[in-house]
Amino acid sequence: MPLADRELFGEWDVALNLGGFANLSLERNNSGRIAWDVGPANLLLNLIVNTRGLDMDRDGALALAGTVVPDLLEAWKALPYHGDPAPKSLGREWLEREAWPLAEQALANHALEDVLATAAAYASWAVARDVPPGSRVLVTGGGAFNPALMNGLRAAGTGKDITWQVPHAELVNGKEALVFAWLGLLRWLDLPNALPSVTGARVASAGGALWGPGPGA
């Protein structure tokens, strides 16, 4: 994805994916393209509403009706992961071990809407703190359709002159499919599709398996 962000969507300074986790992709000075997870997004929101038998907080309505719980927000911000330098990555195991117990505890003492509002503020804070001032940010992933997250991003980015740009719905929904088709084409042409600045490898590589005759057949 970071290679595609650079080559296909390079008109933006930063590419933000608001998926299960929120992740950023950008050029860092002379070190090339880097990408990393900044914190949980939709996965945490969905786990919270799952406790009430809901699949999702449609249109962020419940989060928008809630009020941020300051102690919970500060506890999430204090998780050690946020002090680690990029690039770095997260998984569901981390969320269940580190972030979810704080949500469970809060749900025992606060309204669902308030815990959701806090989770949206947490995700927005994690993103905005890592976006360079003055950036134009391409926002994709399911969270781009969540007004609670988008409002949170605008609030968290106050004073940094960040422009959050959500493209047309076809790109938001189809970016991953488009990018993987393009990465597959690069692999078929035996061109690099993985950047060493992202993976930590010594050289760029062409990942993926080919089935059937290649371009030279």
pLDDT digits (tens, 9 = 90+) for 47-90: 999 999 999 999 999 999 999 999 999 999 999 999 999 889 99
pTM beyond 0.85, yes or no: yes
Nearest Cα residue to 22 out of 5, 44, 37, 33: 37
Q: With a cut of 90, say whether residue 211 has pLDDT above it.
A: no
Average pLDDT over residues 180-203: 84
Q: Is residue 49 within 8 Å of residue 116, measured between CB atoms? A: yes
Taking only the tens place, the pLDDT of each residue in 105-140 is: 999 999 999 999 999 999 999 999 999 999 999 999
Tokens 């699949």: give the residue.
Answer: 55
Q: How does DSSP classify residue 38?
A: E
Distance in Å from the first CA to the final CA of the chain: 28
Map out the domains of the chain with their CATH numbers: 2-199 (3.30.420.40)
Reported as a single tens digit per residue, the pLDDT across 28-43 is: 877 788 999 999 999 9
What lies within 8 Å, CB to CB, of 213 at 6+ separation is none
pLDDT digits (tens, 9 = 90+) for 113-122: 999 999 999 9
Q: What tokens appear for 85 in the block? A: 């330098």
Q: Using 50, 70 and 90 to split pLDDT, how confident is the model at 1?
A: confident
